[in-house]
Amino acid sequence: MSRAYKKSDYKRFTDAAYMLEFFRSHKMRLFPRAYRVVSATADYQRGLAAESYLTRYRVNIIQKNGLEVDIKLRGNRTSIQTYKVWRYLWQTFGVAHYTVPKPIYFFPEANFVLYAKFLGRTLRDFPQVGRERELHFKCVVALSAKKIAALHGMHARYLHQRTKAEEHASLRKLARKVREVRTRDARRLECAMETLEELMDAYVLNSRQFWTYVHGDFQPSNVIYNRNTQNVGIIDFATFQYFHPAHDIANFMLQLEMLLTSYAEELLPKNYPKKFLYSYLAECAPDVRQEIKRVLPVFLMRSALDMAVIRLTSPYYKQHGDPRKRLEKLFGIVAEQKVKLKA
């Protein structure tokens, strides 16, 4: 994003008095049916994303027909380009197909957006055991693949196309984080990073004809399932970009795999990442299908390295700890994909 990010600049968005005044002064635009805005609460939701500022709002209004209702809103930091794409997606098929939450208001001076709360639950919200979670996985995984395939197929208006220099800069940023690691894993990460840079050049950066709009952080936590409509919606669009679609696929598969390692082996079958991939490929043209299979190992390596570095450098994981088996699983995925590419 264009401006420097300082969390102190965003504290006003968690000030209930400030937000109540804002909701009242913009009542007609935000709540067309409202007669009066009675009260508002604002909470900050701590997240792992370094440049996010997730907020939650509950606004109590009295409608013109006399009914008193609570409206739940969300807020987050995002760029003007992302907001334009988000609004375009909503106007295109958000209303009819429950795919993206409705963007409500954008603060250009702060790069902050208010949007409607999706009704439903994520994969992480469901019980860790029992029939309900298994049914939820079966419903959500295939639907998620279809939804992200539909978004990948949309015309990428407003989007900045990721350049070769920007991808190299992104990899260098990841490499700098690797060098911050002061554990026995540092050398393993450095070797993997050197290989990844070569692979990205050879496999991905020269195949731009397949690039499209991508979510950028597509994972189970960013998919909401509504049991009433039996549909899914996608949230958290702070990382919109024009890049290879395999980026989203690999990230979702890997995040899902790591989520499944949190549960006992007998509770859930572990074929859900593959089910997601097969469901996605079923929505693709033959040439796209072949391209995804060709570059997917590279992006699985990229996502695994990214997740490993986060687990080794993030203050959250340093404070709460993370099972060693998850980290070893990530290193195992990197090694496995490297072997596949050499074969």
Lowest mean pLDDT of 8-22, 207-221, 244-258, name the range. 207-221
The answer as to whether 165 is a domain residue is: yes
Q: Which tops the pLDDT comparison, 117 or 342?
A: 117
Q: Which tops the pLDDT comparison, 72 or 332?
A: 72
Q: How far apart are CA 52 and CA 47, in angstroms?
A: 7
The first and second tokens of residue 114, run together, are 């208010």
Residues 165 and 256 in one domain: yes
316 pLDDT band (50/70/90 cuts)? low
The answer as to whether 108 is a domain residue is: no
pLDDT, mean of residues 61-80:
92
Domain that holds residue 163: 123-342
Handedness of CA 22, 23, 28, 30 (dihedral sign): positive
Q: What is the pLDDT of residues 176-203, one digit of tens each?
A: 777 777 667 777 777 887 788 788 888 8
250 pLDDT band (50/70/90 cuts)? very high
Residue 338, pLDDT score: 79
Q: How far apart are CA 281 and CA 294, in angstroms?
A: 13
Residues 70 and 134 in one domain: no
34 pLDDT band (50/70/90 cuts)? very high
191 in helix, strand or coil? Answer: helix
Final residue of a structural domain among 54, 77, 100: 77
Residue 187, pLDDT score: 75
Residue with tokens 């990442």: 273
Q: Which tops the pLDDT comparison, 95 or 134?
A: 134
Which long-range contacts (C-beta less than 8 Å, at least 24 apart) are formed by 17-24?
A: 19/57, 23/59
pLDDT, mean of residues 14-23:
95
Q: For a pLDDT cut of 70, what percent of the chain falls above it?
A: 80
Residues 20 and 157 in one domain: no
Distances (CA, A) of 76 to 23, 106, 331: 16, 10, 32
The first and second tokens of residue 148, run together, are 């992200």
Residues 146 and 207 in one domain: yes
Q: How far apart are CA 74 and CA 61, in angstroms?
A: 16
At residue 59's C-alpha, the angle toward residues 53 and 60, to 5°, is: 165
111 in helix, strand or coil? Answer: coil
Q: What is the pLDDT of residues 258-280, one digit of tens each?
A: 877 766 544 556 688 999 999 99
Residue 80 has pLDDT above 60, yes or no: yes
Residue 68 has pLDDT above 90, yes or no: yes
Residues 264 and 197 in one domain: yes
Contact call for residues 279 and 142 (beta carbons, < 8 A): yes
Q: How far apart are CA 174 and CA 19, in angstroms?
A: 37
Ranges of H-type helices in the chain? 16-25, 27-30, 80-89, 95-97, 131-152, 164-180, 186-199, 246-260, 272-281, 286-313, 315-320, 324-342
120 pLDDT band (50/70/90 cuts)? confident
Residue 331, pLDDT score: 81
Find the Cα–Cα–Cα–Cα dihedral 328, 138, 240, 326, rounded to 10°. -10
pTM of the predicted model as reported, rounded to 2 decimal places: 0.81
Residue 50, pLDDT score: 54
The length of the chain is 343
Q: Which tops the pLDDT comparison, 261 or 343?
A: 261
- What is the CATH number for 133? 3.90.1200.10
Residues 131 and 280 in one domain: yes
Distances (CA, A) of 211 to 191, 246, 291, 341: 28, 9, 11, 21
The answer as to whether 69 is a domain residue is: yes
- What is the CATH number for 18? 2.20.25
Q: How far apart are CA 31 and CA 36, in angstroms?
A: 9
The answer as to whether 169 is a domain residue is: yes
Number of domains, the chain: 2
Residue 90, pLDDT score: 82
128 pLDDT band (50/70/90 cuts)? low
